[in-house]
Amino acid sequence: MSTIEPSVASGEESQPGIEPWLVVCLLAFVPGALIVILPRATLAPLLLPIGASMIALLVAGLAMLWRAEWTRRRRDARSRDDARATIDGRQLQ
């Protein structure tokens, strides 16, 4: 079996793994499983809270995804601008 070694070339690259937003979105299916498992008589008073929790978890997961992508794009734009400024500075000398 092989092991994954951390990249030493770049300190900013993150290790592959499960994104937190994905975990939150997948947790939205746990209350959905209760809908399938619980008997109809027990489910009737809990249907609204279960549905609300599913929607809340999905919205929270999508908000986390949006924020992560927004942060990544800003970081990438900054690194491109820094690289462009470095190249422009070398060309002027």
Cβ distance 43 to 76 under 8 Å?
A: no
Q: How many domains does the chain have?
A: 1
Task: For residue 36, give its domain range.
Answer: 20-92
Q: Please check whether residue 44 lies inside any domain of the structure.
A: yes
Give the CA distances from residue 2 to residues 7, 38, 44, in Å, rounded to whole numbers and listed in that order: 15, 43, 51
Q: pLDDT tens-digit profile of 33-57?
A: 988 898 988 888 999 999 999 999 9
Q: pLDDT tens-digit profile of 60-92?
A: 999 999 999 999 999 888 888 877 777 766 655
Report if pTM > 0.85: no
